[in-house]
Amino acid sequence: MKIRTRIFAVIGVVILAAFLQALVVLKVEDRRAAAAYALDQAIWRLEAQADLVRIIIDLDASARGGPAAGQPGAAAAGPLAATAEAARLWELYQRGAARLPDTLDTDGSKRQFAAIDALMREWRAAVPGPARSALMARARGEFDRFEARERARLRDERIRLSSQSLQSMLLTLGIPAAAIIMLLGLVAFVARILLDPLKAISSSARRISEGTFDVSLPPESGDEIGDLSRAFREMIAAVQRRQEEVTEARVRTEREHRRLQATIETVPVALIIVDADTGRIALRNRTAASLIGHEPEGDEARAAYWAAFGVTTREGAPVDVRVWGAGRVLQGQTIVGEELVIRHPDGREVPILVSAAPLREDDGRISGAVVAFQDITSLYEVDRLKSEFVSIVSHELRTPLTSIKGALQLLIQEGAAADPDQALLLNVALSNTERLVRIINDILDISKIEAGKLELNVRPHAVAEVVKLSLQNVESIAHGAQVALRADIEAGAPPVGVDLDRAIQVLVNLLSNALKVAPPRTEVSLSVRRAHDGFVALSVTDRGKGIPPDKIGLLFQKFQQLDGANTRRARGTGLGLAIVKALVEMQGGTVSVTSDVGHGSTFTVTVPAAEQ
């Protein structure tokens, strides 16, 4: 049986008991009211009987003519003669005798009073004398017995009324007591079927929260508590299984964490994780600690610690310490293979290769950044040794190549070739020799730039002169490629402060590259515009296939060529744009590139305007 049904059944029994108690109370009250009414009737009868007794006594006294009547005596004139007083008394008796039978509630009382009334009437009709006196005596005796019996009945009625009043009082006190007892019984019943099981389940829940699954639950039954107990047992089993799974997962996670931690600690790359909310380093490996140390506690101390570091590019351009590494990544940027040089507060300079990426939550919010620093000092040393070797070899090759070039030119000018085939071979040899010379010159230039030995002669030059000389140097290339050259110089463009030869070298390099990628019967333009305050922008634009966005960052690195060796259309060393960037930055300018894949590219060189 369901708990709801049980509770409703108990409440119904309580309501029925209360209804029965109310009926009992009404019955007892009705009986008490009847007893009270009977008592009132008995008292009224006794009062009426007492009045008749006094009237009878007065009649007897009046008949005797004695002082009891309270009136002067008078002689009787006969059986029907009487004084006025006797007549008045008899009239009162008759009225009382007529009313008294209506108050009598038993036939015996009525017969007894009727006999008394007959004696009194016989007395009234009798002649005064002993016989009449005897009749009065008999009537008074009968009346005394009648009154004694009525007084006994009055006593019984009083006793009955007291008993009924006592019963009513006891019920008045007993019904609330019974109601309280029934209420306590209802509470005990509800506690037994509902509260006690819930208390056991609550205690079991607390023990489970403490990690103890050996709990005592109420026995299973067909009511709601039984359903709750079954569900609780199923929950305990599910929690135990889940705890076992969590324990196994935690063990696996801790094992994998130890492996990952060991791996991170042993890799030769410095790894750090930065928290986005605090900006502090949340995790670092041993290599990172040896490379950048440990940041102190406190915001001011930490800011002073990082401010003591100096950061520059490989070419020596300063980098704001607030935006290098994690500072940029926390803004959503991704860094891949960026070369920087860190200058420690103790004077050490460490070249590093930086890669970094933001850590994002499921909702896309950046919660941190992971940064990898690789000390590339050894790579710098290898690069230096390579540059020295290339420079030495280039110097050693330059002299014999110059001699070979001169000899080939002399043979061609003198017409030493015996037939056209020999003349073709001589021209091919001269072309390849000139190409070798250009390569060697590029290698020597980049070596001088990296060694800081390249000297510049910066002077004011008209921008039109720079453009004219640059275009003249590539006219033959443009003619062979069937590409038109166009110059577009803004009116009023100021002179530029540059090394003329190196400026021409920069523009020739950019123009040569543009002519290599421009389709036939298109044009390559060289435009000049005023840039921001004190600078002039020179832009070379082609109509080639363009440069993919992910390749633009590789353009200005040494020995980088975007097309593969097997598909390369234009031959080169991959040093041209690296030399362009270095020469422009040495003269206080910048190089930038914009490209639209399928429509061409624009390389822009911004150089300082000459002081007027």
Q: 56 and 148 in one domain?
A: yes
Q: 70 and 35 in one domain?
A: yes
Q: 272 and 244 in one domain?
A: no
Q: Is 196 a member of any domain?
A: no
Query: By the 8 A CB rule, do 325 and 371 touch?
Result: yes
Place of tokens 């020995």: 559
Query: By the 8 A CB rule, do 515 and 553 touch?
Result: no
The values of phi and psi at residue 302, to 5°, are: -70, -40
Beta bridge mates, 535: 608
Query: By the 8 A CB rule, do 276 and 311 touch?
Result: no
Q: Report strand pairing: 458-461 vs 600-608.
A: unpaired
Given 325, 350, 375, which residue is the final one in a domain? Answer: 375
Query: By the 8 A CB rule, do 239 and 334 touch?
Result: no
Q: What would the two tokens of residue 248 be?
A: 């196994």
Q: 85 and 7 in one domain?
A: yes
pLDDT at 489 (0 to 100): 92
Burial per residue of 589-604, b for 16 or more beta-carbon CB atoms within 10 angstroms, e otherwise: bebebebeeeebbbbb
Q: Is 200 a member of any domain?
A: no
Averaged pLDDT, groups of 10, the chain, 612 residues long: 64 75 73 73 76 80 57 40 72 82 78 83 80 82 80 79 74 72 72 68 73 67 70 77 86 86 79 81 81 78 77 75 67 79 82 85 85 80 72 72 82 78 80 76 72 81 93 90 92 91 91 92 93 90 90 76 49 75 89 91 93 68
Q: 144 and 38 in one domain?
A: yes
Q: Is 208 a member of any domain?
A: no
Q: 278 and 254 in one domain?
A: no
The radius of gyration of the chain's CA atoms, rounded to the nearest angstrom, is: 67
Q: What would the two tokens of residue 497 be?
A: 């402060």
Measured distance CA(198)–CA(190) in Å, rounded: 11
pLDDT at 82 (0 to 100): 47
pLDDT at 487 (0 to 100): 93
- In three-state secondary structure terms, 231 is helix
Q: Which residue, among 213, 215, 211, 217, has the nearest Cα to 230 in the 3D structure?
A: 217
Measured between alpha carbons, how far is residue 62 from residues 65, 72, 128, 221, 262 in Å? 5, 9, 11, 96, 143
Query: By the 8 A CB rule, do 328 and 274 touch?
Result: no
- In three-state secondary structure terms, 526 is strand
pLDDT at 80 (0 to 100): 40
Q: What would the two tokens of residue 460 be?
A: 């004011």
Q: Is 496 a member of any domain?
A: yes
- In three-state secondary structure terms, 483 is coil
Q: Is 59 a member of any domain?
A: yes
Q: 427 and 475 in one domain?
A: no
pLDDT at 75 (0 to 100): 39
pLDDT at 606 (0 to 100): 94
pLDDT at 7 (0 to 100): 66
The distance between the two most distant Cα atoms of the chain, rounded to a whole number of Å, is 216
273: enclosing H helix or E strand: strand 270-275
Measured distance CA(396)–CA(444) in Å, rounded: 11
CATH number of domain containing 275: 3.30.450.20
- Domain carrying residue 416: 382-449
- Number of domains observed in the structure of the chain: 5
Q: 364 and 468 in one domain?
A: no
pLDDT at 539 (0 to 100): 95
- In a 13 Å sphere around the CA of 573, the CA atoms on its Cβ side amount to 19
Q: 572 and 482 in one domain?
A: yes
pLDDT at 89 (0 to 100): 82
pTM above 0.75, yes or no: no
Q: 481 and 366 in one domain?
A: no
Q: 58 and 168 in one domain?
A: yes
Angle at which helix 224-266 crosses helix 196-209, to 10 degrees, equals: 10
